[in-house]
Amino acid sequence: MTASIRRSFIPGKEANGRTTRSYARANVRITLALSGLCFGSLLSSLALADATQSAKAPLSPATMAVHQRAARPVAKSATTLDSATSLEALSSTLNSAQGPGPGPIGPGPGCDLFPAPPSVGASVPLSYFGPSPSTTNPSLVGPVQLLNSGTVDAKNGTITLPLYKGRLAGTHKAIWYILTDVDNTGVAAELGLNFSTKLTFAANAARTGNLDADGNIVFDKGTVNFAPQRNIVPGPAGAEFPPKSFAPGAVGDANYSPFVNIVNAGNVIYNAPMVAFDVDATEINFPNGNVNYSKVHDQVVAIDPVNMTVTINLINGFSFGRPVWYLSMDASSALAAAIEHNTLAPLMGKLPLGRDDSFASPIERIFIATNGPEAGACNNPLRQGLSADLADGHRPNNVLGGIPTIALDYSPAWDAQLFTWTPDAISSGFRGQVREEFQILTFVQDGLITGPGGAPFGSSGFAINCPIVQRLD
């Protein structure tokens, strides 16, 4: 718009008001034009989303029936959990202890992201507040449970999911696993799983398998050794990351990935992390906790092979400013697997990283501070980062990209983007807790954040399998 045109729209220049009316009509035309552009963009975005969700042809009724065999009743929470699942009594050995580490309900605001109730500061008690808006629209104020095949225990910070018993093809070796995500909307709805269209593009990092008559997967390959002892030796105080040494507590072979392409049912791709391998039910019967972590995944806090349920630790994080709970099941890096208390999954290393939302990308970004605020441990409401994690044992409050109900680009395969606050940012008092992707990217652009060691910010070269469970608000 030129200066002369802008001046002609200034009202009040003519006594008869013609300019004022012209200004109003022009504004209406411009508003309608812009609205058309915005609406057109919205329609284009929705069309693109629909096209993306339809990356695979719809499943036939016969093929869908094969997937329906895997449907299980919603798993109910364990009635009791032994206190031995907590690390609070093991603070002196927190970096060598086996198991999940402390849960998401920590002892202070830096380790507990659960939002305050709306009654705080109000003149009416909580009982007078109606249901959250998410009961009408899941994208509005929560909480919203996203992984619906199990039951979230908000008191203990866990989720109890159906436990599956598959097997390794050509052998009688049992594979105990869970299902968390799938790349087909219909299957996701039938089984209560997260839908991730991006998983369609994870085939290079997936095993193959077939669903048997009972809806269990017969995997073509991939094994996990759960016997190794997890151990980390942190760096010096205030710079605990990177650690001096590390070893993950579970190690998959070269063919192990949690992702599996179901050959006999439309090549649908599931996220099916393994929680135990080549053991009988009697060897992993820990329905109330006290789990033997030489046989079971470190994130498991209880497992019941009689009732076929497994209870798994939840982890605090943020997605676009909103606190969330998620699982951490596998990583393509030994260092990440050690820190995350999860399984080293070498086949995940074939995921193409650094491409985020480009066409055919299977990944979404997770942002992990290396040197965020750690003074005061859990009492510090700004606490964040890997050094804090290695110093006090609680999780680092990572920032996830898009999740269901917030974005269309969710994937449980997260491309790790480690970031470091610069010395100038720290000395100027700018370092704090960051909670959303574009805030971090803006700080990178402003020179306050770099990659580790001052390197350019970007992909750190490894992926983590972190299925989303619940949005807390």
Per-domain boundaries in the chain: 3-44, 54-471
Q: Give the integer Cα–Cα distance in Å for 262 and 234.
A: 41
Beta strands 245-247; 231-233: pairing state: antiparallel
Query: Rounded to the nearest 5°, which phi and psi values hold at 395?
Result: -75, 160
Q: What is the pTM of this model?
A: 0.88
Output b/e per residue, 7-35; b: 16+ Cβ within 10 A. eebeeeeeeeeebeeebeeeeeeeeeeee
Rounded Cα distance between 254 and 235, Å, is 30
pLDDT of residue 370: 98
The rounded mean pLDDT for the chain is 88
Q: Cα separation of 298 and 249, whole Å?
A: 7
Q: Do 332 and 413 touch, CB atoms closer than 8 A? A: no
Q: Residues 6 or more apart from 365 whose CB is under 8 A from it? A: 356, 400, 401, 414, 415, 417, 437
For residue 41, the model assigns a pLDDT of 41
Residue 73 DSSP one-character state: P
| Cβ atoms 175, 218 nearer than 8 A | no
The predicted structure's pLDDT at residue 46: 35
- Listing DSSP states for 252-318 in one string gives E-TT--SEEEEGGGTTEEEE--EEEES--GGGG-BTTS---TTTB-TTEEEEETTTTEEEEE-EEEE
CB 383 within 8 A of CB 347: no
What does the pLDDT look like over 83-116, one tens digit per residue?
544 434 344 578 888 999 999 999 999 999 999 9
Q: How would you class 255 by CB atoms within 10 Å of its CB: exposed for 0-12, middle for 13-18, buried for 19 or more?
A: middle
Residue 279: which residues within 8 A CB-CB, separation 6 or more?
174, 176, 295
Going by DSSP bridges, is the β-strand pair 250-252/224-225 parallel, antiparallel, or unpaired? antiparallel
433: closest CA among 371, 376, 389, 391?
Answer: 371
- Read off the tokens for 430: 């700018």
Contact 433, 396 (CB under 8 A): no
Q: pLDDT value at position 92? A: 52
Measured CA to CA, the distance from residue 271 to residue 363 in angstroms comes to 13
Residue 318: C-alpha distances to residues 170, 197, 398 (Å): 43, 21, 6
pLDDT confidence of residue 48: 41
Query: Which amino acid, residue 320?
Result: F
pLDDT score, position 195: 98
- What secondary structure letter does DSSP report for 467? -
What is the Cα–Cα distance from 171 to 162, expressed in whole angstroms?
24
Which stretches of the chain score pLDDT less than 70? Answer: 1-55, 83-92
Query: How does DSSP assign 354-380, residue by residue?
Result: S-TTSTT---EEEEEESS---TTGGG-
